[in-house]
Structure 1
Amino acid sequence: MQFGKSIGTACSSFAITNIDDLFVLTTFFAEAATSPTLTPVKITVGQYVGFTVIVIISMIGFGASLVLPSEPIGFLGLLPILLGVWKLIDLLLPTGEGEENAGQLPDGQDGQDGGEKQQSHFLSSLKSILKVSMITVMNGGDNIGTYIPLFAQAKGPEIAIYVVTYYILLGLWCLAAFLIMKQRHVLRLAQRYADRVVPFLYMGLGMYIIIKSSCYPWSIKRIDVSSSSHPGKAIMAVVTTVLLLICIAAMLWRAKVKRGRLCPNGAEIEHSSDS
């Protein structure tokens, strides 16, 4: 085993499969500039959790590469698209949650004790970490497709070198994205336009994952093979359209319900102030 060659292989394979991850991290840090729940620490932890899942899948996947192809993972790119749509709906149809949270009393004066606040904070942190890790896994189709054959032809010590190098480089990747967003002019732009840009970044990220993974051509080919009429394109188009319309309708309904709950309270407040 050549130690230097193993490190070089690890660095090159990581760079090839994660150069686009800087875009993902920049998206997260742009959101963190204005989000009260998403922080750089949570982004980093989420990245490591998601990348750990990718490494685990890759290490067991080279023994079951025919059972677990990497292409279908690309369909998870629909989730960032839906996340971007949800943020866009919240931007166009604000529910007033931000103002409602801003008007809460200080700790210990809003009807919650310390234990409830700690539990709420823990759940919020866990949700943010899971969101980052989930999107990291979604964007890991090329990682899995590269790491599976790489691990398959490597020996035990070489795999250990690969994994350790990957984790070190992942930290440097997070640091690079964080330093980009720490630039004052970049930070000012992020704070001013993040709410408007982030939804489209998520939708772009989702489309990029789907296109990069070739999940649709892969599925269409599989469907066409089983039928002489080649219905793959029509089936995938109908299924995707119906799924997206159902999810978007559910989001609009939920936003409408939230606005309906807030409007009566606001009317009562206005009526009481007039009297």
Structure 2
Amino acid sequence: MHDILIALSVSFMAFVSTSMDNLFLLITYTLHPKYGIAKVRAGYLLAVLIMLGLSVAFAHGMQLLPAHIVPWIGLIPIAIGLYELWLLRRGGPDATAETEDIGSAKRGSVLAITMIMLTHSWDSIAVLAPLLSDTRPGLIGWMAVSVICAAILLTLFAQKIVGHEKIRIQLARYAPKVLPFLLIAVGLYILTNTPTDIT
């Protein structure tokens, strides 16, 4: 039971930490006249399911590597975290700028939302695939459930804060600053020997 709780919490945090850009897109799409709440939720959740499938597929491929190499895959999220830190140091584009052009999709369809959300999910795949590859097979289902629950909570949270301008501004300001440290923490978790590991 203890191992399941660790797997649930780590996968939940790993997904949420790499989904801040999608959260801003969820908020913006909810406000967009071409899209209703139902389309936004359906498109995003479909993107999450595809992303999760890709992560599991990549993880399965990584598990074919020698067991002593698998933990070193944790260097991937660490590298992404360090890159995000570097972008912050040089004043890279913030998350709010990313959401300004999302109305460029020609149709307000579920598929359009799914495709755009997927293009913003590469970092989730880069973190979840190594995490899943370093996890015992019996815990992967629990981690998938955790990711889906986190996605549902993000859609509800996005809907809730649509009417709160101050919260949106604070999220846009601080989320990019927290993300690199969460990514590095996930990478270190993969590198270390933990109860959820394959070996």
What range is the shorter-chain TM-score in? 0.5 to 0.7
Report the Cα offset of residue 154 of structure 1.
Answer: 1.0
Which residue of structure 1 lines up, in the alignment, with residue 118 of structure 2? 137
Report the Cα offset of residue 181 of structure 1.
Answer: 1.5
Q: Distance in 1 between matches of 2:8 and 2:58?
A: 22
Classify the secondary structure of the residue corresponding to 2:101.
helix
Q: Which of 60, 77, 84 is the aligned partner of 2:101?
A: 84
Classify the secondary structure of the residue corresponding to 1:20.
helix
- Could you tell me which amino acid in structure 2 is paired with residue 19 of structure 1? M
Classify the secondary structure of the residue corresponding to 1:154.
coil
Distance 1:86 1:180, change over 3 A: closer
Match runs of 1:162-177 below 5 Å: 162-177=143-158
Which residue of structure 2 lines up, in the alignment, with residue 43 of structure 1? 40
Distance 1:85 1:156, change over 3 A: closer
Identity of aligned residues (%): 19
Q: Distance in 2 between matches of 1:12 and 1:131?
A: 27
Q: Which has the higher contact order (CA 8 A, sep 6+)?
A: 2
Report the Cα offset of residue 54 of structure 1.
Answer: 0.4
Match runs of 1:25-64 below 5 Å: 25-31=26-32, 35=33, 37-64=34-61
Q: Distance in 2 between matches of 1:85 and 1:140?
A: 15
Structure 2: stretches of 5+ with no match in the other structure: 63-75, 81-97, 167-175, 177-199
Q: Distance in 2 between matches of 1:5 and 1:132?
A: 32
Which residue of structure 1 lines up, in the alignment, with residue 16 of structure 2? 15
Q: Distance in 1 between matches of 2:102 and 2:51?
A: 26
Distance 1:8 1:132, change over 3 A: same
Does the Cα contact within 8 Å between 2:55 and 2:129 map onto a contact in 1? yes
Which residue of structure 1 lines up, in the alignment, with residue 132 of structure 2? 151
Q: Distance in 2 between matches of 1:86 and 1:171?
A: 23
Output the TM-score relative to the length of structure 2. Answer: 0.57
CA RMSD of aligned residues (A): 3.3
Question: For the pair shown, which has the larger CA radius of gyration, 1 or 2?
Answer: 1
Q: Distance in 1 between matches of 2:103 and 2:56?
A: 35
Structure 1: stretches of 5+ with no match in the other structure: 72-80, 91-123, 187-207, 209-275
Distance 1:144 1:161, change over 3 A: same
Report the Cα offset of residue 24 of structure 1.
Answer: 1.3
Report the Cα offset of residue 86 of structure 1.
Answer: 7.8
Q: Deviation digits for residues 159-207 of structure 1, max 9, x if unmatched?
A: 1111101111111101111111145x79xxxxxxxxxxxxxxxxxxxxx
Distance 1:166 1:61, change over 3 A: same
Q: Structure 1 runs of 4+ off > 3 angstroms?
A: 83-88
Q: Distance in 2 between matches of 1:24 and 1:60?
A: 26
- Could you tell me which amino acid in structure 2 is paired with residue 57 of structure 1? L
User: For this pair of structures, how many residues does the alignment match?
Assistant: 133
